[in-house]
Amino acid sequence: MPDKMKWLADLGFVNLGNVYWNLPTTALFEEAIRTKEGLTAHLGPLVVRTGQYTGRSPQDKFLVEEPSSQDKIWWGGGNQGFSSEGYERLRSRVLAYFQGRDIFIQSLYAGADERYRTPIRVISASAWHAMFARNMFIRELDQAKLESFSPEYTLIHAPAYRAIPELDGTRSEVFVILHFGRKEILIGGTSYAGEIKKSVFTMMNYVLPLKNVLSMHCSANYGKDKNDVALFFGLSGTGKTTLSIESRRTLVGDDEHGWSEDGIFNIEGGCYAKVIRISREQEPEIYESTRKFGTILENVTIDRQTRRLDLNDDSLTENTRAAFPISHLENADRSGIAGHPRVIFFLTADAFGVLPPLARLTPEQAIYYFLLGYTAKVAGTERGVKEPQATFSTCFGAPFMVHSPTVYANMLGDRIRRHQAEIWLINTGWTGGGYGEGKRIHLPYTRAMVDSVNEGRLTDVEFDEDPVFGLRVPRQVPEVPPEVLRPRETWKDPGAYDRKAAELAESFAAAFRTFESQVPKEVRAAGPRLLTTK
């Protein structure tokens, strides 16, 4: 038996159908079409449907309670425990499901920096999901190294296997379970490919800090050289991909990065961009990715006769996605490695229309807002979310953080101070009122603000201090109307703004109480001033 097949047998995979090892994208595409997993769109992208699950299922994600990781996991947050015994039972049932089936295996890396990368092997019953993994993670192009590839983590993916909660100990038919002792990830019951991407990111959020590397839910690009780096933190839908992919700067990565003693590196090798209602005019690079062979389009509407796409159609979900290798972008750094950040943006989609669209943060405010992670859940990115909802997601990625949030915050604070990075808060949400009354901040204005910061044009401008949140707001930004910078002036009723601002400040204070005993007094004092407004 070849070594690779022995490896499979040792995992428990027996009586399999065809086993496809490291097929290239073209062959995976052919298999997906042959087995009717998707349709070919005009110019070659693969269009697929994910069924009833068009977003992540965070309540169905678990971490196995086992000795090697038990004391390192932040059980006080959203991390749910799963028993070792229950995992073994479910795992054996999943392996039984694979008997007689064809499987697709991809040997890949998470992490562009060879010193900190994790070799992973993805085993899926679906050709298009194997193609997704090949798009999203870093490929090994050296055939000799591929033959001797030894994975550290294995991801077992059975999208069509439905768990039985009464037998399997799950909450529903969906399960995403990480076992750090076994170095294994088990996914089933959902075809939404984002679960593959984010479970690997969760794994890296466990692994990297143990190597003194800060793992970050952010995009990154650079300007004139690799030391002119900007980071964009934020949850899905806040604009990380949109703002970091632009023609005048070079993209390092669109969603997940590590920050080591030598600089930053991309954790992934691809992009997973929201494409609902994008246009060639406003987001040309992402738009062009929807017209290229090798791209996978999730839940995008296609005319079955003409094979043309309708990117404006949200009848299946608001969370339509394009998954493509970073090489699809002309202005991307394929090495995935750059220097230390000069500028860091915290992106938030304020559903109340209260926060300014741009504000400069002190290092203490940076830690406060990083731990707070205020934004709005965007429709479609999670099951059950039909419209934006105010939420607090610590480190701008609570569902993916394994260690205590203060572990990541302390590492970020240390790096900010040592490398003297500028920190800016960007609100890509609403202005002139909250959701349903105001309107989304004009994207060209946000781009102008980001450009002005990156190009150093706000160094000498005057700032006003927000009376409630204590944020320093620039009085002027080139190409942005001054009133846009002061949200109170965009509301028809300033008194209504004051009441909503006080209400939001109270919710900030309530959400931050979890961390008050774990941070210095300077960070505690960096929050909003609680005012009584009648």
- Positions annotated as catalytic residues are 56, 198, 217, 236, 240-241, 255, 321
Question: CA 475, CA 462: separation in Å to the nearest integer?
Answer: 6
Asked if 187 and 171 count as a contact pair (C-beta separation under 8 A), the reply is no
Specify burial of residue 360 (Cβ count, 10 A radius: 0-12, 13-18, 19+): middle
List of residues 6+ apart from 256 with CB closer than 8 A:
201, 204, 215, 216, 217, 218, 266, 267, 268
Phi, psi of 84 (to 5 degrees): -60, -40
Give CA–CA dist 492/528, Å, rounded. 24
Gap between the Cα atoms of 380 and 315, Å rounded: 11
Would you state the structure tokens that stand for residue 162, as one six-digit string?
């439905």
Q: Give the pair of three-digit tokens for residue 468.
A: 């409630």
Q: Are 117 and 109 in contact (CB under 8 A)?
A: yes
DSSP strand E in 189-340: where? 214-216, 218-222, 229-233, 250-253, 257-260, 263-266, 270-274, 296-298, 301-302, 309-310, 321-325, 337-338
Contacts of 242 (CB under 8 A, 6+ apart): 273, 283, 286, 443
Contact 431, 357 (CB under 8 A): yes
Residue 475 in tokens: 């009085």
The pair of three-digit structure tokens given for residue 36, joined into one six-digit string? 């009717």
Q: Which two tokens stand for residue 429?
A: 């949400």
